[in-house]
């Protein structure tokens, strides 16, 4: 009887708890607090945090290869590259590319911000990460969660968890990280630049946009195919106006289901052994560096473009090339309004903001082309 009871105790998780597990619980609790109380990107951060908690409960075997429930989500959803493209389908169905079509120059601003990715890439190499790890970390600078997860899962799966947490944390911190950089790199006069109202965009233009974008980008960067195809398909659903049911599903049920599976799978990769390494601090530092460089690059590119443009761009919208949609656009708009109350920059800033999503996918695909 006593030995049976002893066996039961030894079969429990309590006996196998380590200090590392407890530290990971603490991290999970902090992330849950940020998600629930502070509402930092709760849609992803909450399942990620819970995934971290449950995977660090010993001998639950949730991530046991070929057996664990969450392993199956991870293997068939992320390793098989199914979930990130489906998230892009939903994102495409929710994105309005009108501001980009009305002012296509902002595509360059969306691309310019990707300098944050390549700048952070170099710094990551200098800090001792290898080529694939550096690319997986640097993509945080694109401020696009699904793309970061997609790239990290292919190039450095052992860094997937910290990269995802860093990406979503910094996306939530955009209103704190960006403004000092924006103030430093722009003058009061530049922040006051008023941009003319965007021209109206016809339905046909909005229908043609995803078709042309898919053709151009997938021909030039074939490695982008999975993400770009789904992104543009979702957008075509929305803009065609003839598949309301599919659009609704892509925007709502599908998006919600894959978000749940993605979040918990990513969180469950963060075991104590993987996460409690000195290199994790470097990842968070590099994420911050990437965001700062991306913000600066977008603003400086806008200022450079202004040298050649008759109708000036308010350089604040360059910072919105960091594709944290719509937060970065709101930050640019708020700073513009603070400088000049009559300035309404939100729709102008949405242009580079959504263009940045395309830019980040292109940057990730170029990295994949070289490194995969």
Partner 1 sequence: MTDWSLAVQIFITGLLGVFFVMMALQISIQLSSVVIRYMEKPREKAKSEG
Q: Where are the alpha helices (DSSP H) in 241-372?
A: 244-249, 255-267, 272-275, 278-306, 327-339, 346-371
Provide the token pair at 271: 């075991």
- Asked if 79 touches partner 1 (CB under 8 A), the answer is no
Residues between 93 and 112 that touch partner 1 (CB under 8 A) = 100-101, 104-105, 107-108, 110-112
- Asked if 139 touches partner 1 (CB under 8 A), the answer is no
- Asked if 227 touches partner 1 (CB under 8 A), the answer is no
Nearer to partner 1, 103 or 169 (CB): 103
- Asked if 63 touches partner 1 (CB under 8 A), the answer is no
Closest CA to 324 of 286, 295, 285: 295
- Asked if 189 touches partner 1 (CB under 8 A), the answer is no
Residues 325 and 333: beta-carbon distance below 8 Å: no
Q: Using CB atoms within 10 A of its CB, is residue 243 exposed (0-12), middle (13-18) or buried (19+)?
A: middle
Identified binder of partner 1 from the candidate list 49, 89, 167, 221, rule CB under 8 A: 221
Map residue 150 onto helix, strand or coil. Answer: helix
Identified binder of partner 1 from the candidate list 7, 67, 130, 273, rule CB under 8 A: 130
Overall residue count recorded for the chain in this entry: 372
- Asked if 304 touches partner 1 (CB under 8 A), the answer is no
Nearer to partner 1, 233 or 258 (CB): 233
CB atoms within 10 A of CB 222: 12
Q: Minimum distance from CB of 273 to partner 1 (Å)? A: 25
Question: What does 114-138 look like in DSSP terms, one character per residue?
Answer: THHHHHHHHHHHHTT--HHHHHHHH
Cis peptide, bond prior to residue 84, ω within 30 of zero = no
Nearer to partner 1, 82 or 131 (CB): 131
- Asked if 359 touches partner 1 (CB under 8 A), the answer is yes
- Asked if 114 touches partner 1 (CB under 8 A), the answer is yes
Residues 181 and 292: beta-carbon distance below 8 Å: yes
Residues near partner 1 (CB under 8 A) are: 100-101, 104-105, 107-108, 110-112, 114-115, 117-118, 121-122, 125, 130-131, 134-135, 202, 204-205, 208-209, 212-213, 216-217, 220-221, 355, 358-359, 362-363, 366-367, 370-371
């Amino acid at each position: 009887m006593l030995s049976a009871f002893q066996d039961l105790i030894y079969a429990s998780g309590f006996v196998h708890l380590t200090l590392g597990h407890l530290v990971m619980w603490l991290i999970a609790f902090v992330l849950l607090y940020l998600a629930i109380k502070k509402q930092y990107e709760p849609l992803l951060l909450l399942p990620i945090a819970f995934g971290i908690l449950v995977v660090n409960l010993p001998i639950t075997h949730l991530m046991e290869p070929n057996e664990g429930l969450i392993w199956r989500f991870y293997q068939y959803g992320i390793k098989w590259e199914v979930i990130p493209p489906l998230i892009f389908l939903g994102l495409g169905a929710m994105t309005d590319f009108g501001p980009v079509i009305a002012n296509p120059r902002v595509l360059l601003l969306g691309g310019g911000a990707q300098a944050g990715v390549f700048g952070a890439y170099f710094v990551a190499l200098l800090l001792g990460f290898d080529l694939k790890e550096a690319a997986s970390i640097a993509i945080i600078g694109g401020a696009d969660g699904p793309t970061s997860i997609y790239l990290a899962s292919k190039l450095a799966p052992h860094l997937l968890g910290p990269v995802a947490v860093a990406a979503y944390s910094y996306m939530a911190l955009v209103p704190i990280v960006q403004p000092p950089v924006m103030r430093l790199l722009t003058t009061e006069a530049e922040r006051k630049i008023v941009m003319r109202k965007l021209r109206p965009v016809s339905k046909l233009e909005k229908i043609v946009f995803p078709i042309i974008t898919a053709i151009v980008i997938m021909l030039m960067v074939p490695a982008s195919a999975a993400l770009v195809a789904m992104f543009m398909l979702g957008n075509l659903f929305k803009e065609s106006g003839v598949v309301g049911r599919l659009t609704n599903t892509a925007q709502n049920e599908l998006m919600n289901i894959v978000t749940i599976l993605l979040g918990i799978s990513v969180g469950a990769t963060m075991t104590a052994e993987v996460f409690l390494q000195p290199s994790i601090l470097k990842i968070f530092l590099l994420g911050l560096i990437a965001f700062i460089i991306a913000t600066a690059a977008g603003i400086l590119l806008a200022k450079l473009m202004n040298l050649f443009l008759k109708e000036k761009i308010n350089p604040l919208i360059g910072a919105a090339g960091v594709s944290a949609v719509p937060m970065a656009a709101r930050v640019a708009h708020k700073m513009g309004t603070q400088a000049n109350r009559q300035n309404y920059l939100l729709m102008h800033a949405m242009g580079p903001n959504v263009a940045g999503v395309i830019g980040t996918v292109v940057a990730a695909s170029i990295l994949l082309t070289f490194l995969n």
